[in-house]
Structure 1
């Protein structure tokens, strides 16, 4: 171990361990949120422009944030999404394309997918979509809960090509009209989401407000990142063990060779 080669290998092991230790420290620093949102922050209604920009992903602390947004619904774009549960009962959501009023931070045209109401019956949901379409174009001011895109999936086997079982703005965009050059928010809005909230629009007969409770208050400690930090510490120790193991193997081979040479005399 005192030979130049193995001293050089020890220096290399020290360098590798130092890199692993730095990665562990970096991971540990990310494990604890030193500036968590205050309790109940998601229930304070904020303008959507203060929460997320069109095309941007919704940050984790803001999932479920109550927001307000103004605009008008586009005619012909009230679509039904199936396999939606309300108080444990399966049913359907009626959704619409809200063309957001332009502002300094919202370019024109920009749209937001909105889940307006729930029905246990598909026929009632389709009828509500027709009734809402008749009122499309009127200015509305919506308040609701902002939720991350669930991601598009293929329709179930045997179902029509228009069948949607996930609330995905990306999937809805494929069926929307007047979508050329359109900016789209990645998350969607559950209109009226939250206790005592108002959708900002009267629901047609057959629809009820979507149950969207406040998100659970999360811990400011990310245990997965702590686990990764421990892993990096183990890797740093393993670098020293590898140096010791290789040096010991080389020493044992030399001792074995000397013993064989002495036995052959």
Structure 2
């Protein structure tokens, strides 16, 4: 049978079958790459610092694609509008967040998680320092941090009287004045003020879902590739059987 397979006609047929199989395999690989949601993986750009107003707008909810985005902006910390949140976990354990009311030159407000403290006394001391000497002179200071969506108020906050959730809707009612609306999320500052530790804020994890239909199509292309080679083998064997029967009519086919 292999003598027949080495004939120029069948060598050419094998080359054609391999070319077809390669095409099918390439199509299977392409289909497999399309099995990832959206047909491609978009490289995460959250660590590139962009202007806050380029990815978010006051009085509008945050888009899901902006969650975890590193942003920069200028704002003045409004005296008297600091809030301490309890039960906030950090690398050193449970503690407290000091949250400030940032007001942009346009008047839009943004909640800023300034830093983490291990105790209420440490948080109060840091707030006293901020009140006595703000990070920079008015009208505004520069901030950079990670933009996150607002949290929902917790029922336990109302029962215990101790706030633990960074809910923008609640902060608006605590702040003295919000002249031009507020952003629908908050920013975790990368650079904590004196007396506070940096809040652990890792980059968001990109989840990619699998499209099983495209995986099925990819398997089909692999099967087609194998069938192209098998078809060549089957044709060569048929010719071999015919020629053998012509020489030995009563010979049993292996």
Normalising by structure 2, we get a TM-score of: 0.63
Write the mapping of 1:35-184 to structure 2, written as runs, cut at 5 A: 37-39=42-44, 41-87=45-91, 89-102=93-106, 109-136=107-134, 138=138, 139-156=140-157, 159-160=160-161, 163-179=162-178, 181-184=179-182
Rg larger for? 2
What do residues 192-230 of structure 1 show as CA deviations (whole Å, max 9, x unaligned)?
Answer: 0xxxxxx2xx6122x10111011112215589xx9xxxx
How far apart in 2 are the matches of 1:143 and 1:68?
Answer: 4
Deviation at 1:58, TM superposition (A): 1.6
Query: Does structure 1 conserve the Cα–Cα contact (< 8 Å) formed by 2:37 and 2:208?
Result: no
The question of whether the paired residues in 2 share the 8 Å contact of 1:48 and 1:67 is answered with: yes
5+ unaligned residues in a row in structure 1: which ranges?
Answer: 1-30, 103-108, 193-198, 227-265
Q: Report what 1:203 is aligned to.
A: 193
By how many angstroms is 1:155 displaced? 4.4
Q: Is the 8 A contact 1:33 1:220 kept in 2?
A: no
Alignment partner, residue 187 of structure 1: 185
Offset of 1:135 from its aligned partner? 2.9
Equivalent pair of 1:46/1:68 in contact (CA under 8 Å): yes
Aligned length: 176
Structure 1 CA distance for aligned equivalents of residues 103 and 184 of structure 2: 14
Change (3 A) 1:150 1:88: farther
Distance 1:204 1:45 in 2: 23
**How far 1:154 moved relative to its partner?**
3.5
Task: Say which SS state the counterpart of residue 46 (structure 2) adopts.
Answer: helix
Normalised to the residue count of structure 1, the TM-score between the two structures is: 0.60
Partner Cα distance (1:222, 1:171) in 2: 40
Secondary structure of 2:165's counterpart equals: coil
Q: Which position in structure 1 is the counterpart of 2:37?
A: 32
